[in-house]
Structure 1
């Protein structure tokens, strides 16, 4: 049961069935109450009409004991103001819900005329002789006629007569139609509602299964991709324009990004291994020669290879941390122009142009490494000079590093930011490095919420533009 309810299809079916069930119960109760109220009102109207018919005869002067009320539609009683039954319909055997339970007429009790006159004077709303009261009182009760017991709606109407005073006429209308209609409607609901719920549940189950079928296809394909570790595979995209199709497209985009990331890591590992093998082999060769012939040991070359190996290892470690999404370890506000001057002072032929302090937020160490890599790259390609300019541009801080070299071809302006890329393949590794400097520079810029791009410098050469947010 727990596993079944864990299914989206089962939960959707259950939720839809519960909502429809609540709606049906509420609607059914409203229909039954409305039907019962209307039918009771109709019975009350019939009872009132019968009571006023008898009251009209009494108002015209006919004595109650001479009435023969017709009891075919329902029981009728005529009662005086003392509660004495004066007239009743034929074949009435039992009655309740009216002013009296008597079913046999009785003689009226003697009444003091003076008392009646006094009571009549005190009652400001007393009826005039021959007048029928406009108000009607309704009650529910039952009666037995010819051994047939049924429920009735009774109407009570008062009438003022000349000889017998105020009389009350009780007339009943049967409630069998109301009871039958309500019973029939209830039976229909008890049979129809479960069937309707079954139809709703079945339709919801089938529609949900059809809607979720592409999701199951996506899940199955993802499971196959996980098992095979083949990131080149893609999940099926349904030919629709709904959320499932968007989910499939997003999943494929994620798989493509993951494939590219894994391929990048593989290429990175292969290139790193290749780059590390050269200085390690050179260093080993020098040490082996030095061990066999100490007088031939090139100490300066061994140190140079060791330093280069150390720098390469540091670059690889930094790239690994950046790939892992590591945030700047020590974020602070500092003057980027001052940092640029500090880096430029270590190199001849580098000039810095900045109008006052230009503050940014970030890691001075990483941004210093970024400027170092840009200045080293510019120094390798410049013919005579390197120019650095730091300024504010709206909500950005812009640092430009320009050289007067040959520049970067437009087709290669994105490729140079890839790892282990050297545009001049004939250049030696000792002169050009491992091709990681610009890749590290762009990754640092991106981690600080900025950008790093390259274009032609106004005076020729390449101009690298770093943009960082002010806050």
Structure 2
């Protein structure tokens, strides 16, 4: 049972069924009560009309014995004075409740030809022969000629020509009201469960059909997880709904994951390849030194060790960048930063010229930005002929740092690849002695982490010019 209720299809069907059931019950109750009220109101109007017809006869002086009373089964009537004495009643009336007076036969002492008659009264007296505008209603039962039924009673006061105030009770049958209400209630009791079952079934089938692609996506994702085959894709429905968008997004995620895993594999393979060379060289030198100490190339061993150290540092920085490491929030004065970094490069092959504009500050990591500048200048040192220029200027909302040289430059069709990891072009520009092809990749990643952009183009001196754009705060 718990597993059943954990199903989206089951919860959707039950939820829709519950909502429809509540709505139908509410609507059915409202319709039933409204129908019953309308029918009762009609019966009340019929009873009032019958009572006023009898009251009109009394107001015009008709004696109690001569009253033209309606049929007792349709409209049972009682005429009662203020002392609750029955003056007149419908023929064959045997029992009555709901009027307040249980008597059904007038007492002989109250015969209509008694002393109550007064033929000398002035017919124009406004106090005599008056019917009250007020009316009271009540429900009860009456037995007429052996048949008992429910009635809606209306009570109207009337003052006769003899200045006697009496109350006329007249009833209207509620059989039509009860019959219609019973029919409506029976129809609702039969129809409501049927409609709820239909709604539940339709919702179940519709939800099953709607969730069928989701089950296909789930099965394919389970298969991908089991096989670890990231080249597979989940099926995309030929619709334009949320499930189709979910499938497309899932496939896009799988494609990005596949690309990321592939980049990671290439990175590990390339890193292993780059590490193997200096490690093999260092091992060879140590083995030779162990056998022949006099042949130890100490400078070469130190150079290979430094190369390993730099490569390890580069790999560690790339790993931190790939893990999402964010730059710091320190303020960096780029002009002072450039001058300080270049002043420490005393052993460079070519002196570096600087053209800086003061007052340019960015937010970020000074150490990472120093790595960017150092990698770009190192790259220029390996390929420049006689001139390297570092320039800093403001362009709108950007701080622009350029490193230009007069070397061979970078072919246009290779300018996108040069920032990939472990990529070294075959031309003279990247045939260096110690580079692993990570410097420019690190520079690009650091700049992008700072919200900027690194690109390469041609320099005025004919070589390459690397352009760093960083947003100003």
TM-score (norm 1): 0.92
C-alpha distance in structure 1 between counterparts of 2:427 and 2:370, whole Å:
28
Deviations 1:429-456 (A, max 9, x none): 7525010001111111122222212222
Quote how far apart the aligned CAs of 1:50 are. 1.0
SS in 1 for 2:94: strand
C-alpha distance in structure 2 between counterparts of 1:212 and 1:428, whole Å:
56
8 Å CA contact retained: 1:68, 1:87: no
Corresponding residue of 1:317: 316
Matches for 1:40-189 after TM superposition, within 5 Å: 40-67=40-67, 69=69, 70-106=71-107, 107-108=109-110, 128-163=127-162, 165-189=164-188
Quote how far apart the aligned CAs of 1:398 are. 2.1
Deviations 1:156-196 (A, max 9, x none): 12222112612221100011111111111111111111111
8 Å CA contact retained: 1:380, 1:432: no
Quote how far apart the aligned CAs of 1:68 are. 5.3
Quote how far apart the aligned CAs of 1:354 are. 2.1
8 Å CA contact retained: 2:424, 2:431: no
C-alpha distance in structure 1 between counterparts of 2:396 and 2:429, whole Å:
40
C-alpha distance in structure 1 between counterparts of 2:116 and 2:232, whole Å:
111
Which is worse superposed, 53-62 or 419-428? 419-428
Query: Which structure 1 segments of 5+ residues have no match?
Result: 118-125
Corresponding residue of 2:341: 343
Query: Which structure 2 segments of 5+ residues have no match?
Result: none
2:369 to 367, 370, 394: 367
Cα gap change, 1:108 to 1:470, in 2 (>3 Å): farther
Cα gap change, 1:409 to 1:439, in 2 (>3 Å): same
Cα gap change, 1:181 to 1:112, in 2 (>3 Å): closer
Matches for 1:257-296 after TM superposition, within 5 Å: 257-296=256-295
C-alpha distance in structure 2 between counterparts of 1:130 and 1:463, whole Å:
119
C-alpha distance in structure 1 between counterparts of 2:110 and 2:458, whole Å:
126
Cα gap change, 1:301 to 1:58, in 2 (>3 Å): same
C-alpha distance in structure 1 between counterparts of 2:130 and 2:52, whole Å:
11
Corresponding residue of 1:121: none
8 Å CA contact retained: 2:143, 2:149: yes
Cα gap change, 1:405 to 1:127, in 2 (>3 Å): farther
Deviations 1:290-332 (A, max 9, x none): 111111111111111111111111111111111111223x541
Quote how far apart the aligned CAs of 1:335 are. 1.2
Cα gap change, 1:2 to 1:336, in 2 (>3 Å): farther
8 Å CA contact retained: 2:399, 2:472: yes
Matches for 1:289-304 after TM superposition, within 5 Å: 289-304=288-303
Which is worse superposed, 36-45 or 15-24? 15-24
Deviations 1:244-279 (A, max 9, x none): 111111111111111111111111111111111111
C-alpha distance in structure 1 between counterparts of 2:174 and 2:418, whole Å:
95
Which is worse superposed, 416-425 or 383-392? 383-392
Quote how far apart the aligned CAs of 1:82 are. 2.5
Corresponding residue of 2:231: 232
SS in 2 for 1:73: coil
C-alpha distance in structure 2 between counterparts of 1:253 and 1:202, whole Å:
36
Cα gap change, 1:252 to 1:223, in 2 (>3 Å): same
Cα gap change, 1:382 to 1:430, in 2 (>3 Å): closer
Q: Does 1:399 align with 2:397?
A: no
Matches for 1:346-425 after TM superposition, within 5 Å: 346=345, 347=348, 348-424=350-426
Quote how far apart the aligned CAs of 1:399 are. 1.6
Cα gap change, 1:293 to 1:430, in 2 (>3 Å): farther
Q: Does 1:214 align with 2:213?
A: yes
Tell me how many residue pairs correspond in the alignment: 459
C-alpha distance in structure 2 between counterparts of 1:428 and 1:208, whole Å:
61
C-alpha distance in structure 1 between counterparts of 2:450 and 2:101, whole Å:
97
Which is worse superposed, 9-18 or 140-149? 140-149
TM-score (norm 2): 0.92
SS in 2 for 1:194: helix
Quote how far apart the aligned CAs of 1:85 are. 0.7
8 Å CA contact retained: 2:233, 2:251: yes
C-alpha distance in structure 2 between counterparts of 1:450 and 1:2, whole Å:
53
Corresponding residue of 1:454: 456
C-alpha distance in structure 1 between counterparts of 2:312 and 2:287, whole Å:
23
SS in 1 for 2:170: strand
